[in-house]
Structure 1
Amino acid sequence: MTDVVQESAAPANGFRSYLTIWVGQFASMIGSNLTSFALGVYVYQLTDSATTLGIILALGLLPATLASPFAGSLVDRWGTRRTLMISSIGSMLVTLTLAPLVATDSFRVWQVYVIVIVTSLLTSLQIPALGALTPQLVPKEQLGQANGLRMVAIAVSQVLAPVTAGFLLVSIDLTGIIVIDVISYTAAIATLYLVRVPRVRSGATTAGTPATLLREFGEAWRYVAERRGLLTLLFFLASLNFSAGFVELLISPLVLSFTSSEGLGVVLSIGGLGMIIAGVVVSVTGGPSRRVRAVFAFALLFGIATIVGSLRPSIPLVACAAFVAMGALVLINTTHQPIWQTKVDMRLMGRVMALLTMVGLIPQLIANVLAGVAVDQVFEPLVGRDEVRSESLTTLIGDGPGRGIALLMLLVGLLVVVTVAVGSLFGRLRRLEEELPDRAAPAVDEEPTSGDGVEEPIGDERPVTDSATSAR
């Protein structure tokens, strides 16, 4: 027997509708990253405290991580379009509260903490809603392109924001950047209002209490756990995210150990360029058709690039490695997302996307903590802080300060290679695309012709039968 999973058929003009929403979300991402960077600079100038910035970074990630189970359930209850509207409007209102505080010089650090926490909670709604919205609008043949466009937006906004925000802080101050952010949120809200998004019936019959939302999230976990290919893919991605968390934290101190901040800017810019190019390539080509094998290949590329970047204290070498590694991470993301978007019951899509968010954030947070401790307490004392004590290590990773960081990076790259080798041994994962069928498309209620932007229910969403075990 095979798994028969209900699919909501994408509307005929779905990709065009997705592009409309993408434009609004792209503008919103740029505005949000501008504000985030400028706010960090403003707070540091106000407090002269790196610890405060660290707390703000943690508060930006932890609430979103902890709220993900509840957020995923709410996405499936409310619908993707409505959830994105709530997230965008809420984020715009939170951003607006900054303007009078800055303009009247009544800005306090505790207020930033509150704003960052609320924004993080709203982001926990936005991420799974965007992931779940894509297969509602886009035919499965174009899911690779859609996910590529999403990664282009993320990469471009992350690369442009620091440079642009630095210029804008001098010319229009933080208040002007806040105005730009509010305008970008307005664009996102307008595009959501204009576009019709098919609505999947969630089947929820009880009030959305915290306990109920957790139980509903548990249903998504059981859905994945019963399908061994998806479960193995989930653990594989968790391992990759753990390794990526080390690289994310270590790349800056590694480069700064042998060059200036300008050199670090070059390396990070080239890495960002790799992300953008990878996203553009996928958005044009749609990505590989054999996605599981491609995920293995791109993960192996990421591991090898991480190893190569650790071998010598050289800006050209590390920059090339960053280009390949960051591009490979984008290719992994744009390749594995369509697997979930074509295999998972639409009724559970928001919750499964939230589960993927948790699998992305939790291992990275753990790695961020462990990386600093490992460098300071183990690898730098072991290797030598100013010069490498061992000739064999000098041959392997070069000499000079920061080579303890390089040794840890090398081991992280090897861990990725081992992860790929072990993952490829699991037949359920290798054969996931063949053994677990895509969703079968049901009959769809005819949409009204009025362009009111209202979400329409699709079909009758039913749980997958427990008897369908052979494809798990």
Structure 2
Amino acid sequence: MGKFIALALGLLASILGSAFTGLAMGAWVFQHTGSATQYAVTLVINLLPGIVFGPLAGVLVDRWNRRTILMVSELVSAATVLALVLLYDAGVLATWHIFLVVGVQSLVRAMQLPALSSVVVLLAPKDQVARANGFVMLAQALGNTVGFAAGGVLLVAIRLDGVLLVDFATFLVNVAIIALVRIPRPPRSETAAAAESGGLFAELRVGWQVLGTRRALRALLAFSAALNLSLGFADAMLTPLVLSFASAAALGLVVASMGVGAIGGSSALAAWGGPRRRVVGLAGFALPLGLFLCVGAFRPSVPLIIVAALGFTFCFTITDGTTRNILQLEVEPDVQGRVFATYNVVSGAALAVAYVLAGPVADKVFEPMLRPGGSLADSVGAVIGVGPGRGMAFLMLVIGAAMLVTAVVAFVRPSIRALPDRPVRARPEPENGEETGATSEARAGRAAE
């Protein structure tokens, strides 16, 4: 576990630096173009290349040495950041340079994230995998909160080139830590051997085959896609909903509460490991997700939304960590790169669809219904209010209800209820890490107890 904690500390340094840069680059684009559309393009480029490249990235992760992938990913990111510093200092930095760097880093993350997810089960004992995921998610939560907050301060204090140099230094720190951590190669499984004999296209299909042909994992993927679709709508609606009745300062408090919730959820996972019963970690924590969305939308109240946002992100972190823990322990380690890449593609696609649909659905359908004189003004409007933003609030209520239904369906599905309990007793682990989380081995270990 010590090796993994060292790796997590290096990851934290890298994520913090990337958070500084992410905020700074987005701010630079908006300040120099004055265009919200250009800023939105930055967000799309940050997401889309990784989704497209994801399946191939998973194949490469399983083929190549994972430590090499993590080190090269950090070095490529460092090189792109250093290039921006040189362009900025030369006075020739342009918007398209930012777009190019954001796109390259999106491709790098498509390699890095499945590699990191598959490394967890190679370095942490089986009974500590859930806690190890908590450490990874805590690093990400700290980056998305402390990192973004500090990024704004640093941008003012040391300008864009200074922020980029800080990020460059964090990449080098992480590379040094990765170089000192030995990551064992996973044992070869029949699934991987069969795919490799069929060529590249057969390997590309492995992630889909594993998730699509194993009943429990198929149900898990559908559950996660449904949650991410709802999450995308909620994420897209949060800012305009708050600003429809409150100030930008109030929005800052809401966003900060989300960060606190994510840190709390990941800290709980790191210390506790999550519920022993997998169905509780999934459906049990999805139930309050829907309830918190409904609570936040019920009244135009900043304190109410702050409580809802904090509770929502806390519960979502537990659910997401449980999902990843299941994949790490129930999938053969030498195909986890492809499986996690496929899982990330499905999750990212669900979010992207929600981002695209949320605005038009809110503006064209829900907002008109809850304007004064609208079709639902005298019914739904009598409960949640009428006027600007209340249509978006009603959309949030619908999303919350959808999450509740998703959670109930997951609770009653035999395939999800049959998922084995999380390991809680320490068992001897071989030094080379070859005993990992394949389903048959995990079940054999539990039976032996």
Which amino acid in 2 is paired with 1:354? A
Partner of 1:191: 177
Structure 1 length-normalised TM: 0.87
Query: Contact between 2:47 and 2:348, CA under 8 Å: does it hold in 1?
Result: yes
Partner of 2:277: 290
Aligned counterparts, 1:101-140, within 5 A: 101-140=87-126
CA shift in 2, pair 1:335/1:106, >3 Å: same
Aligned counterparts, 1:3-402, within 5 A: 15-201=1-187, 212-384=199-371, 390-402=377-389
Structure 2 length-normalised TM: 0.91
Share of identical aligned residues, percent?
36
Deviation of 1:68 (Å):
0.7
Deviation of 1:463 (Å):
12
Deviation of 1:77 (Å):
0.6
Partner of 1:451: none
Which amino acid in 2 is paired with 1:46? H
How far apart are the structure 2 equivalents of 1:140 and 1:460?
7
CA shift in 2, pair 1:361/1:207, >3 Å: closer
How far apart are the structure 2 equivalents of 1:200 and 1:286?
23
Deviation digits for residues 264-300 of structure 1, max 9, x if unmatched?
0011101110111111111111211101222101111
CA shift in 2, pair 1:263/1:388, >3 Å: farther
Question: Aligned-pair RMSD on alpha carbons?
Answer: 2.8
Query: Contact between 1:379 and 1:405, CA under 8 Å: does it hold in 2?
Result: yes
Gaps in structure 2 of 5+ consecutive residues: 441-449
Report SS of the residue matched to 2:185.
Answer: strand
Aligned counterparts, 1:424-435, within 5 A: 424-433=411-420
How far apart are the structure 2 equivalents of 1:394 and 1:74?
53
Deviation of 1:147 (Å):
0.8
How far apart are the structure 1 equivalents of 2:254 and 2:375?
24
Query: Contact between 2:121 and 2:437, CA under 8 Å: does it hold in 1?
Result: no
Q: Which moved more, 1:274-283 or 1:126-135?
A: 274-283
Deviation of 1:81 (Å):
1.3
Which amino acid in 1 is paired with 2:6? T
CA shift in 2, pair 1:47/1:202, >3 Å: farther
Which amino acid in 1 is paired with 2:341? A
Deviation digits for residues 449-470 of structure 1, max 9, x if unmatched?
xxxxxxxx94899999xxxxxx
How far apart are the structure 2 equivalents of 1:391 and 1:290?
44
Which amino acid in 2 is paired with 1:364? L
Report SS of the residue matched to 2:415.
Answer: helix
Query: Contact between 1:387 and 1:400, CA under 8 Å: does it hold in 2?
Result: no
Deviation of 1:110 (Å):
1.4
How far apart are the structure 1 equivalents of 2:201 and 2:188?
15
Query: Contact between 2:29 and 2:95, CA under 8 Å: does it hold in 1?
Result: yes
Query: Contact between 1:72 and 1:125, CA under 8 Å: does it hold in 2?
Result: yes
Gaps in structure 1 of 5+ consecutive residues: 1-14, 448-456, 465-472
Query: Contact between 1:31 and 1:182, CA under 8 Å: does it hold in 2?
Result: yes
Aligned length: 437
Deviation of 1:206 (Å):
12
CA shift in 2, pair 1:213/1:95, >3 Å: farther
Deviation of 1:389 (Å):
6.3
Report SS of the residue matched to 1:392.
Answer: coil
Partner of 2:446: none
Which amino acid in 2 is paired with 1:132? S
Which amino acid in 2 is paired with 1:137? L
How far apart are the structure 1 equivalents of 2:90 and 2:225?
45
How far apart are the structure 1 equivalents of 2:244 and 2:222?
34
